[in-house]
Amino acid sequence: MLLKPGTISPLLPLLLLFLANVSAQHINKVVANLDGESHQIAIKQEFTYVNSSESTLTHLYFNDWNNAYANNTTPLSKHFGEDFDRSLHLAKNRERGFTIIKTIVDKNYLGLEWERTKGQDIIKIALSEPLEPGQSVTLFFTYTLQLPDDKFTKYGYAADGSYYLKDWYLSPAVFDGEWKLYSNKGLEDLYTGVADTEVQIKFPTGLYPASNFGTKRFTNFSVGQEAFFVGNNRKNCTIILTPEKVFTKHVTPSLTVTTDLEAARYDEIRQGISITTVAEFLQAYLGEYPHDNLLVSNIAYNKNPLYGLNQLPSFIRPYEERFQFEMMFLKTALNAYLRETLYFDRRKERWVNDAIANYLAIKYVEQYYPDQRLIGKLSNIWGVRGFHLAKMDFNEQYNLLQMLPSRSNIDQALSTSNDSLTILNQRIANPYKAGLGLSYLADFLGTERVDSTIIDFYKVHQLQPKTKVADFKQVLQQCSDTEIDWFFDEYVSTRKKIDFKIKKLKKTEDAITFTLKNKRGTNVPISLFGLRNDTVISKYWLTDIDSTKTVTIPRNGEDRLVLNYDQKIPEFNQRDNWKTLDGFLASNKKLKFTFFRDTEDPYYNQVFYVPIANFNIYDGITPGLRLYNKTFLERPFTFDVNPQYSFLERTIVGGASARYRKYHEKGSLFVSNYSIRGGTSHFQTNSRFSTLTPSISFGWRPKDLRSNKRQFLLLRHRNVFRNIDETVLNDNTIDLDLENNPDYSVFNARFSSVDNSLIDFKSSSVDFQHSSEFTKLSMQLEYRKLYESNRQLNLRFYAGKFLRNDTNSDFFSFALDRPTDYMFDLGYLGRSEESGLVSQQIIIAEGGFKSQFEDQFGSDWIATTNASFNIWRWMELYGDIGFIGDKGESARFVYDSGVRLNLVTDYFELYFPVYSNNGWEIAQPDYLERVRFIVTISPKTLTGLFTRRWF
């Protein structure tokens, strides 16, 4: 039976009887006094804990999340470090937050023993006597909160004098047969017991309060103010204090809202109309909000914004003001609405709230803005409207963004614990995938049925203390007339991909028979559409396809069959989803050339082109055209052709590559790459080098995707071909055998392991090279340690040995400084220069020395150590020592030292030598010629600096 939104299912009384969980409520009374000068809150708290479990308790656990800011060893600080955010690790003491607990006593004023758990933000309290099931105990806490600077998580005090208090006072951990002890990791997922709470807080004059609780009274004193907030069946009281009155109260027929969200060029009257529209929508699709007030704050929005929109400069407004304001308000209100009423374990089962919130956001756009484009008004601009991105509907962003980690093999199951998700998955991909999943289920079961089921679930489980995913599943199953285990077992609980393909199509006058292949083995329903002239004339749901299945459907004039035509299903690859009934040639996709990269259009073979330019001193600026097929999403096979013109050499340079990448979803081996690359450029005036390199590489990673540990094995065969000018042959002092042996090949095997941690960076590699003239083995170890004082220690060790060396020059020898780079791997601006500015470029490789030595090569072995330590911000002292040896000669001991300006590690650095084997270099007349620099101009490399924390 299908129901309209807002109607009550006939199953509701049974569900209420079966699922209602009536238990005595905790009672919480908080009296707080905020000192505006010290940013401290003195608290006296009376908490009555009711044991609603079937176990006898001898200890209680309370969350003290304010103490998560106390030092750099807390789970919060470590979580920040994993995301390459060192703000909390390097915080000054005055910026940190902590809790000073003075006393904990029971109703008999007997002091209770307590201790902090390992995470430091949960306290364990020993009861004076066991607490039996159904009994209660009253505890009295006296403690002081030192609030942190809000620059870390927006919690605490701000520079403008405002305060954001959320999850601030002591609250009980949940016991459901075992204690749920979750440390604060900045994820907005406190799991605490439900209580009837009163908060009485005093704060300085000149601050205006706003709260998610109802305001019982508000009083002004000569020396301050006092507010009394009340909330029944609530988790925690959020209080925002601002020096200006920015919050307004909107009383709509269905909901009372307190908000400070606003939009430029959208006046308060129209904002009120939009808020009423959203409130009516929430009531229609969820039901009555059980509390007096819904807090929708700008802080909450900024923590979970409309990604993409929030990245644009303020002067770029792709959307109409009404749409932009309503989407901001809707997203923030939905999250607050569900968080304040459905009490899931958000650390372990957050995805249900995400699913409902994003499903309703999708419905809102479908209902009120069905023609809204993804990039809004920008889609009408000349030069932009031809892109597939410009033609995408607003709701298509959900599939696009959740597919980004999926195509890169860094997606995670919806059931993954919230603190185990990468930033991209935690903030964007998984919430979007959850919403898409519910849309997928609604398309399969019927939209009205799922809508009414959500209403039933909300009515039954709102304010229930321990709502579970199993409860949501049970309600869905009760309202379904078909099996939906696939949704929970395949879509939610695994990271399996959905991917189908039509094969072996046969047609008669009355029927169409085809074979459907499940390419990934994920046994979920798939939709099939019949089209005629791009108009849908038939639709079918096909189920139970674990491998292949032959299907026959009646023929109704279709000229094309398309799987997942409306893209309701988050399918991994839609490029092979269609079959034409008009013959083989009609099945071929048209070739589409597009300026710059675009989103993936499954109905075209896309080739992108973009102008490029590189630089080295031999070719000068080399403009060219890059042709490639890589869209915003990863794809298995990519090619890249970039012919360029060298103005100095007046000839064609550039390169081309083709790569097939295979991602593995099971085991530690996560990627295999098979590629061939070729390129040509100049290494000296009128002297060209060309390379051709087939390669295979493999990558391993731990099961925990938040870990920055990776291992790689590279196998490649580097073929180098050189055409050399006669003047270079006459003047060359590096390679004495260029004329007779200009070309060479080197087999290279390299294994590397890296733990790219912000605090403790570790990497190691072993490199083996073999050619007709030599065989060599080398290793490199690197370690970086960031201390609490913002001092960083950098250590690097390099050692290499020739197993065989039949060369008669130093072209393949180990180098202390500026290797010859015979593999042409390093980004030299002038690789053959021995003087001038570009000769001062340094790339830390092999010996890694910064001073330049007349005899810097070793034809037998090398062992060096490089170290640096910062003395003030980005200013460091460095030192290098080592030994280097030639065949049949004694080893030479070498050293240097100086000052390093580490402006951006590995990207932009300056080295000023002071003392070395050359003596006091700083006193030499040609000192400026001895200064070295590192510079990175590759856009791809620079992009990695800013995207690493998301991936």
Q: What is the dihedral of CA 7, 11, 13, 18, to 10 degrees?
A: -140
The DSSP annotation for 596-638 comes to: S-----TTEEEEEEEEEEEEETTTEEEEEEEEE---SS--SEE
The domain in which residue 434 lies consists of: 1-24+347-495
Three-state SS at 776: strand
The string of pLDDT tens digits covering residues 180-193 is 999 999 999 999 99
Both 570 and 472 in one domain: the answer is no
Same domain, 798 and 914: yes
pLDDT at residue number 947: 61
The answer as to whether 893 is a domain residue is yes
Question: Of 826, 856, 824, whose CA–CA distance to 841 is shortest?
Answer: 826
Please tell me the distance from the alpha carbon of residue 395 to that of residue 359, in angstroms, as a whole number: 10
Q: Which of residues 569, 588, 607 is at a domain's end?
A: 588
User: Which of 464, 495, 526 is the last residue before a domain boundary?
Assistant: 495
Position 18 scores a pLDDT of 40
**pLDDT at position 6:** 42
CA torsion sign, 329 to 334 to 340 to 341?
Answer: positive
Residues 939 and 852 in one domain: yes
* Residue 310 lies inside a defined structural domain of this protein: no
**What digits encode the pLDDT tens for the residues 225-277?**
999 999 999 999 999 999 999 999 999 998 999 999 988 889 999 999 999 99
Looking at residue 786, its pLDDT comes to 87
pLDDT on residue 5: 42
Angstrom distance (rounded) from CA 898 to CA 423: 39
What is the pLDDT, as a whole number, of residue 583?
65
Number of compact structural domains in the chain:
4
Same domain assignment for residues 461 and 559 = no
Considering the domain architecture, whether residues 516 and 384 belong to the same structural domain is answered as no
pTM (2 d.p.): 0.91
Domain annotation covers residue 275: no
Q: Which residues of the chain have pLDDT under 50?
A: 1-23, 732-734, 736
Is the domain of 105 the same as that of 156?
yes
Across the chain, which distance is largest between two alpha carbons, in Å?
99
84 within 8 A of 166, measured Cβ to Cβ: no
With H, G, I as helix, E, B as strand and everything else as coil, classify residue 375.
Answer: coil
Question: Taking Cα atoms as reference points, which of 212, 432, 442 lies closest to residue 341?
Answer: 212
Domain boundary among 588, 619, 642: 588
Q: Is residue 298 part of a domain?
A: no
Same domain for 488 and 461: yes
